[in-house]
């Protein structure tokens, strides 16, 4: 009897391992896509975004999770772990990126090899962002908007649809290339300013005749502050989920590592499985527990906004109304 049980156990283990091997082979075949890697950009196509995602020591997994949540083949991504992080963490982050088939195919994710210090004192953080923007301008000429995120942020929308800013490509070219002295002068003054990130880009844009009338007063983030406000917003959790969804914001901030509400956002809003990119209209594979729908793709230039994009659309329309009325733009006081 004991021998029979041992034989059945061995048979079961063999069958189970064979099934796992078969599923692995099927998954590897499904990762191949015959569709050409064509990115169509311009006025007749959706805009492309450049994401600069930054973290500090111990944030490699958080930065990678955020990358998966905001990934789309049309966009460009630059990942940065501050100088206090180890080389091992940066290599780990690069390894995680290379494991994702669609990221390998499109080659649109890079990791900064020579990091900058992550500090909000003085101008070092601004300098790091400008360096990241300079790299993104150099490696990709097709994106239109620059989005700065940290490991504490998370999206409230799929990609088909303050100190934290969303900046146009033309404005960043102005800051980086500096065809007049204003960006460099303000960067010099910000050296002795605490939390200069809260004032630098705002000061440049509001003191530049070319850009001062192109602003809206929103960072597109959902945040909750103490009363009276402290230096950082409060950490969000499951009790904030309903308000986040109804806010119409594109991102929320800030979260502790592996906060349970992030899993709710993945499941209910992003429809994203663990260790998978957020699926969009470009994903054509079958979705199952062993198969990633985005391991196969079709036309990556087709977008299909999901239901939660309606609130975001309303928010953008309200911001554009403010832009047209010029009631919430930079107010320049003339000296007497």
User: Which residue did the predictor score with more confidence, 261 or 163?
Assistant: 261
User: What's the structural domain count of the chain?
Assistant: 1
Angle between helices 60-70 and 87-98 (to 10 degrees): 30
C-alpha distance from residue 22 to each of 17, 25, 26, 92, 154 (Å) = 9, 5, 6, 28, 35
Nearest Cα residue to 225 out of 182, 248, 187, 254 = 254
The answer to whether residue 23 is domain-embedded is: no
User: Which residue did the predictor score with more confidence, 207 or 335?
Assistant: 207
CB neighbour class for 155 (10 Å; exposed up to 12, middle 13-18, buried from 19): buried
- The dihedrals phi and psi of 81, each to the nearest 5 degrees, come to -110, 125
User: Which residue did the predictor score with more confidence, 204 or 20?
Assistant: 204
Residue 267, number of CB atoms within 10 A of its CB: 11
Q: Look at residue 336 in the predicted model and tell me its pLDDT.
A: 39
User: What's the pLDDT tens digit per position in 29-61?
Assistant: 444 444 567 888 877 888 899 999 999 999 999
The answer to whether residue 43 is domain-embedded is: no
* Stretch (H or E) spanning 52: strand 49-55
Nearest Cα residue to 223 out of 154, 319, 307 = 154
Q: Look at residue 30 in the predicted model and tell me its pLDDT.
A: 44
The answer to whether residue 330 is domain-embedded is: no
Q: Look at residue 170 in the predicted model and tell me its pLDDT.
A: 87
The answer to whether residue 24 is domain-embedded is: no
Tell me the residue range of the domain where 185 lies.
Answer: 49-323
Strand partners, 64: none
Cα distance between the two ends of the chain: 102
pLDDT at position 91 over 90 = yes
Strand partners, 110: 78
Q: Look at residue 31 in the predicted model and tell me its pLDDT.
A: 45
Strand partners, 109: 77
Residue 308, number of CB atoms within 10 A of its CB: 18
User: What's the pLDDT tens digit per position in 212-254?
Assistant: 777 766 778 899 998 887 878 999 999 999 999 898 888 999 9
User: What's the pLDDT tens digit per position in 178-212?
Assistant: 767 777 777 776 665 556 666 777 778 888 878 87
Read off the pLDDT of each residue in 87-115 and give the average, rounded to a whole number.
Answer: 95
The answer to whether residue 328 is domain-embedded is: no
Contact 271, 242 (CB under 8 A): no
d(CA 96, CA 277): 12
The answer to whether residue 151 is domain-embedded is: yes
Which range in 211-225, 286-300, 303-317 is most confidently predicted, on average pLDDT? Answer: 286-300
Residue-averaged pLDDT of the chain: 81
The answer to whether residue 35 is domain-embedded is: no
C-alpha distance from residue 161 to each of 9, 48, 301, 316 (Å) = 51, 12, 12, 12
Contact 251, 147 (CB under 8 A): no
pLDDT at position 95 over 90 = yes
Residue 226, number of CB atoms within 10 A of its CB: 10
Which range in 34-43, 109-118, 254-263 is most confidently predicted, on average pLDDT? Answer: 254-263
d(CA 119, CA 210): 30
Angle between helices 169-177 and 182-189 (to 10 degrees): 70
- pTM of this structure: 0.81
User: What's the pLDDT tens digit per position in 119-145?
Assistant: 766 677 888 888 999 999 999 989 998
Q: Look at residue 335 in the predicted model and tell me its pLDDT.
A: 38
Read off the pLDDT of each residue in 299-328 and give the average, rounded to a whole number.
Answer: 73
d(CA 37, CA 75): 13
pLDDT at position 324 over 70 = no
The answer to whether residue 245 is domain-embedded is: yes
């Amino acid at each position: 009897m004991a021998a029979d049980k041992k034989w059945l156990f061995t048979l079961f283990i063999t069958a189970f391992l064979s099934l796992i091997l078969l599923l692995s082979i099927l998954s590897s075949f499904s990762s191949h896509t015959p569709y050409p890697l064509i990115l169509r950009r311009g006025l007749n196509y959706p805009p492309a975004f450049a994401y600069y995602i930054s973290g500090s020591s111990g944030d490699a997994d958080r930065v990678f999770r955020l990358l998966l949540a905001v990934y789309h083949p049309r966009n460009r991504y630059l990942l940065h772990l501050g100088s206090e992080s180890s080389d091992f963490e940066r290599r780990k982050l690069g390894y995680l990126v290379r494991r994702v088939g669609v990221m390998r195919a499109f080659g649109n994710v890079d990791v900064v090899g020579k990091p900058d210090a992550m500090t909000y004192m003085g101008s070092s953080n601004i300098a790091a962002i400008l360096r990241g923007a300079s790299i993104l301008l150099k490696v990709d000429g097709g994106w239109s908007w620059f989005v700065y995120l940290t490991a504490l942020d998370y999206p409230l929308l799929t990609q088909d649809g303050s100190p934290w800013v969303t900046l146009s490509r033309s404005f960043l070219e102005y800051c980086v290339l500096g065809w007049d002295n204003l960006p460099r002068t303000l960067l010099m003054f910000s050296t002795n300013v605490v939390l200069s990130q809260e004032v630098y880009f705002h000061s440049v844009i509001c003191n530049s005749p070319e850009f001062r009338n192109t602003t809206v007063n929103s960072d597109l983030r959902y945040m909750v502050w103490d009363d009276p406000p402290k230096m950082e917003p409060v950490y969000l959790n499951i009790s904030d989920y309903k308000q986040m969804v109804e806010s119409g914001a594109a991102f929320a901030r800030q979260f502790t590592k592996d906060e349970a509400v992030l899993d709710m956002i993945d499941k209910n809003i992003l429809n994203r499985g663990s260790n998978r990119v957020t699926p969009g209209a470009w994903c054509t594979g079958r979705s199952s527990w062993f198969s990633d729908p985005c391991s196969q793709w079709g036309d990556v230039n087709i977008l299909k906004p999901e239901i939660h994009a309606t609130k975001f659309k309303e928010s953008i329309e309200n911001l554009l109304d403010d832009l047209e009325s010029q009631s919430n733009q930079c107010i320049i006081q003339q000296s007497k």
